[in-house]
Chains A and B, each alone.
Chain A
Amino acid sequence: MTRAHRILEFLWSGWSGLAALCLLAAVWQAGHEAYGPFILTSPLETIQAIGVLASSREAWEIAALTLQRAVSGFALVALAGTALGVAGGYSPATMRLVTPLITVLMGVPPIAWIVLAMIWFGGSDATVRVVIVISALPTVFMGAARGITTRDPVLDKMSEAFGAGAVRRFFGIGLRQTTTTLFPAFALALGTSFKVAVMAELLSNAGGIGGALAMARMNLDIAQALAWVSIAVILLIMVEYTLVQPVKSEIDRWRHAAQPWGVKR
């Protein structure tokens, strides 16, 4: 399959996404008609509110701030989680040491971390990033570690038999095999990053989309609140499809090789 082929297929898959969005909008509209505009504004009004925000410079800055925090937090957690996970995958001793810590991290609710981080760092970027790293670390760690532990040992031997040194074996064979489990973990972690960024902003008064949501709540402005939520989702989708998906589809090309083009299987 050529690259142009794959890009076309990728764009084609957008239709199913669009269909799902239209379905959501229909349910939303039904809810709006049942409960009235003070509980749920209609999708159209929300889109109008987004349009108004899109023409304001200030709104762009707010969105950019959240985007910057979520993406930088994600980058941190992707690096740290992958490094720890790979180390854990190769060394059972590290794995045994880190696993209980991961369980602890998973057991403490993110809200608790937000409170702690607020006390430590105040309403700053650092607060948001720290909470993102702590919330998404278990996912990335597990993804990387599982990828290493479930790798095919025969491939390591093959590569060694043909003269690859430890470094080449690691990058060409070991790390390459983690992608199966690592990329789904990245996608999850990216979602967590956005959710946690907005939540941490809202609670720690750190501006950004979370801050804007807090404002909307004070003014009981449903349209504004829904508009900001939609913007956060749009940002997430944009980052996912420009950052994670292209790399993933390039790396997973062989998996799709045996599947026919289009919807039929």
Chain B
Amino acid sequence: MNVLELSNVGHAYLGRTILEGINLRVAPGEIVALVGPSGCGKSTLAHIAAGLTAARSGHITRGYARHAMIFQDSALMPWATAAGNIDYALRLSGAKRRDRHARLVAVADHVALTSEDLAKYPIELSGGMRQRVAIARALAIQPDFMYFDEPFTALDVALRRRMQDLVIETCADGNLSGLFITHDLNEAARIAHRVAILDTRGNGILGHRSPPGSPRTRTDTQVFDWVQNALQGDPIFRHIHDVDERQIA
């Protein structure tokens, strides 16, 4: 039984094929990292999987109870404060008024936002803070499946590690599965049970690779070695740092 299963999914924007023949499975308690060069269709795939974009072809089966998504460009409502943005998701999730405040304070603490930050509007926040608000919003509703769309790109190294640990811990408690989109193979190797590589032209998943052990027990040396080997020895990762070839062609 999988919590998410995509079979033979395809998509096109304005007649231009973006994704074709995508097969992907996520097992309960598993974090699958999705890597691929910029513009290969990772965000589109996540939107299709979450039901935000209708696929042109293929089947999607969702076995989870509630999902949340951290969007690539934080997607905060500019007219609401940081707290208001988090609360919006909580209200939609049907949380009771009393519990909402407690949840809000708890997640804000998790992502290191002060109560002062919470009272600010998105234009008053830095890029990294906005991203953290988006992370807090997604965590607040306690989803059992999370779509991460390059969630930590705007964060500095220390904070990024801290967020990655947060994901690893939440997942190790058995409460979370997810699809984790990233450019960064190091991040993928740290967080994920399995790394799926999307074709440069979105033409199917090229294959899967599993870093050693489980995310929680993996050491930094193991992660480093695995990434080095992958980039040097494994042809499947050859195009991972390419730019959008479609636009050049």
Contacts and interface: CB of A to CB of B under 8 A. Distances in A.
Given A163-B93, A164-B92, A155 B77 contact: yes
Given A155-B75, A251-B79, A162 B88 contact: yes
A161 B121 contact: no
A162 B121 contact: no
Contacts of A157: 47, 52, 71, 75
A203 B107 CA distance: 65
B124 interface: yes
Interface string B53-96: 00000000000001111010101011111000000110011000
Contacts of A168: 92
B92 A163 contact: yes
A158 B71 contact: yes
A176 B89 CA distance: 17
Centre residue among A161, A251, A253, A254 by max chain B CB count within 10 A: A161
Contacts of B89: 162
Interface string A163-177: 110001000110010
B105 interface: no
A258 B67 contact: no
Interface residues of B, number: 28
Name B's interface SS. loop
A154 interface: yes
B43 to A, nearest CB: 10
Interface string A85-120: 000000000000000000000000000000000000
A254 B79 contact: yes
B238 interface: no
Given A157-B47, A254-B123, A258-B121, A162 B68 contact: yes
A161 B93 contact: no
Contact of A254 (B71, B78, B141): B78
Contacts of B73: 154
A154 B78 CA distance: 12
Given A154-B75, A155-B75, A254-B79, A161 B68 contact: yes
Interface residues of A, number: 20
A155 B238 CA distance: 35
A207 B50 CA distance: 62
Interface string A239-265: 000000000000101110110000000
B120 interface: yes
A77 B122 CA distance: 34
A126 B207 CA distance: 72
Contact of B93 (A162, A176, A254): A162
Contacts of A164: 92
Nearest to B147: A161
A160 interface: yes
B79 A176 contact: yes
A172 B84 CA distance: 12
A251 B80 CA distance: 10
A235 to B, nearest CB: 31
Contacts of B47: 157
B138 to A, nearest CB: 8
Contacts of B79: 176, 251, 253-254
B52 A254 contact: no
Enumerate the 9 nearest inter-chain pairs by beta-carbon distance, A residue then B residue, closest first: A158-B75, A254-B121, A161-B69, A257-B121, A162-B89, A162-B92, A154-B75, A157-B52, A254-B79
Interface of B: 47, 50-52, 66-69, 71, 73, 75, 77-81, 88-89, 92-93, 120-124, 137, 141, 147
Given A162-B68, A254-B80, A258-B123, 15 more contacts: A155-B77, A157-B47, A157-B52, A159-B88, A161-B67, A161-B71, A162-B92, A162-B141, A163-B93, A168-B92, A251-B79, A254-B79, A257-B121, A258-B121, A258-B124
